[in-house]
Structure 1
């Protein structure tokens, strides 16, 4: 049983309109999104905005007073980077439905996005890697540079 070309075209146009409305809705939601992350030493909280930009930086409990400039910078970079990755993963998840092929219109194949190329390879890494290690993350590379192993 073959559908008429007109019927298939109407179906495709309806799906495209639905996708357009969905993308507009996701764009509105993402404009308001933000994610905050605490550094592993609990000295800094960084917040990333909808484009991964740093929108807020908090120094917690005056811990910065006992830190060297390198330690403080490392904490800021760690928290800011992690907040940016969280935001990027949120964007990926929000846009994922629009990359999938259409179930109703086989001609609409969806599209491939190289998320690693867009946001950096870290967005493709396991999201909850710390739970696989008993709630602890691997020591950040900056701690190695400071001669620290991240253990308290």
Structure 2
């Protein structure tokens, strides 16, 4: 009878070891991400932002006084664009960090990878992504306003 239990006991031991290793890796990943900031610039290089580990805007710099020749809507669009780029980088780093930790446990027969809906989790952090309900973001509306306004001298094409 103990011969039957030995393979099961060994499997349980391996599964627990895998679980503990995964828990430790998650704790390291969380610590690494908690200390990670991202810097991103707008395409027009007028704005640089710092995005914190939870996607929050934690710094804003106007570069080379380019903002002096910009209209309010142009500057706002540059700020939003840089912030969006930074949030995308943070979201991508989170996904790249946690994806390997969500693989099935090879020591547990029938276990499957953990499936995460990254689009739902990060939603607006990804360009082209829509918020729940399919609504447009305020930055999309602002860009439309800028592109449709022919009266703004020096506006974006």
Measured against the shorter chain, the TM-score band is 0.7 to 0.9
- Structure 1 residue 30 displacement after superposition: 0.3
Q: Which runs of 5+ in 1 are unaligned?
A: 126-139
Normalising to structure 2: TM-score of the pair?
0.77
Match of 2:119 among 107, 116, 120: 116
* Equivalent position of 1:96 in the other structure: 99
* Equivalent position of 2:146 in the other structure: 146
1:58-102 C-alpha deviation (Å, 9 max, x unpaired): 100011111111111110000001101110010010000121112
| 8 Å CA contact retained: 1:115, 1:123 | no
Q: Which runs of 5+ in 2 are unaligned?
A: 129-138, 148-155
Normalising to structure 1: TM-score of the pair?
0.79
RMSD (CA atoms): 2.2
* Bigger Rg over Cα: 2
Q: How does 1:74-89 map to 2 (within 5 A)?
A: 74-89=77-92
Q: How does 1:20-35 map to 2 (within 5 A)?
A: 20-35=23-38
> Structure 1 segments of 4 or more deviating over 4 A?
140-144
- Structure 1 residue 4 displacement after superposition: 1.6
SS at match of 1:36: strand
